[in-house]
Amino acid sequence: MTSQPGDMLDSIDRTVTQAQVEAYADAAGDHNPIHLDAEFAAITPFGKRIAHGMLTLAMVSEMLTSAYPNNWASGGRLKVRFRAPVFPGETVHVTGEVKKVTESDGVRLAEITLGVRKDDGEDVITGQAFVKLD
Amino acid sequence: MPLQDLPAGHEFPPETLTISEAEAAAYAAAVGDTSANPSERVPSMAVIAAGLSRFIKHLGLADGTVEVVHASQKASFNRPVTPGEILEIRATLKSNAERRGSRFATVEMLFVDESGEQVASASSLILVNAT
């Protein structure tokens, strides 16, 4: 288990496609046209279709589940900000680093710095997760 | 009722949410999660995503008349959800304000099982602009 400050979780690199966005819309029930309708998206400030923020966040949760198979789903929590949209065709790099470990009442809790970045270094998601280690 | 007419503190009618094994598998495939085991566990974030989609739709924010941007998200998980499990979503509009022509709304959702135990919670800040 990744449990020391400075430890890096196994990262995820993934290219988001429009087909994936459409599959996600069906799976999650979110058919907002900003994700699906090119004409609609063209008149928004983004200028084109964007991936769902929750699709990208799912990759963060996947990383945390892999690192902490039981404790992420049982007692894990996160708070994140969506900094920039992901456009279909872009690759994102999902990372997590244990920032510190605290102990209270015999329970150790890891604070993990979360990041999702594009190839050019632009932040997509920033935030923290907290996972019990015991 | 349109979002702009709802006061902060508004409680939405409880909703039932069930994610089947097939739906959990479709979600895992869509996000590219090949390590998920949807026959035993619903991917954690799938529960939050399904709940949020419901309320975006209920608030009339998914019909193409407005631009909706997800600004921030909190989530916590008390235990895994199994496919087919019946949950109730208890949602509250925690904040709803207009600033510089944009509307900022926070929806808090509690996911509760049939025994009344909370299995997950979430808080979503969304930004709504007229198109």
What is the tens place of the pLDDT at every residue in B87-109? Answer: 999 999 999 999 988 899 999 99
**Most B CBs within 10 Å: which of A10, A13, A20, A32, as the mutation test of the B interface?**
A32
Whether B18 has its CB under 8 Å from any CB of chain A: the answer is: no
Nearest of B25, B22, B77 to residue B51 by alpha carbon: B77
Contact flag A57-B62 (C-beta cutoff 8 Å): no
Contact flag A53-B73 (C-beta cutoff 8 Å): yes
Q: What is the pLDDT of residue A1?
A: 65
* Percent over 70 (pLDDT), chain B: 99
Residues of chain A with pLDDT under 50: none
ipTM of the complex: 0.94
* Average pLDDT of chain B, as a whole number: 93
Q: Which CATH number fits domain B3-130: 1.10.760.10, 3.40.50.1820, 3.20.20.70, 3.10.129.10?
A: 3.10.129.10
Whether A73 has its CB under 8 Å from any CB of chain B: the answer is: yes
A24-39 burial, b at 16+ Cβ within 10 Å, e below that, comes to bbebbbbbbbbbbeee
**What are the extents of the domains in chain B?**
3-130
Please, what are the domains in chain A?
52-132 (3.10.129.10)
- Residue B60: which pLDDT band, with cuts at 50, 70 and 90? confident
Q: What is the pLDDT of residue B131?
A: 64
SS3 label, residue A7: coil
Helices and strands, counts by H and E, chain B:
2, 5
Closest alpha carbon within chain A to B63 = A32
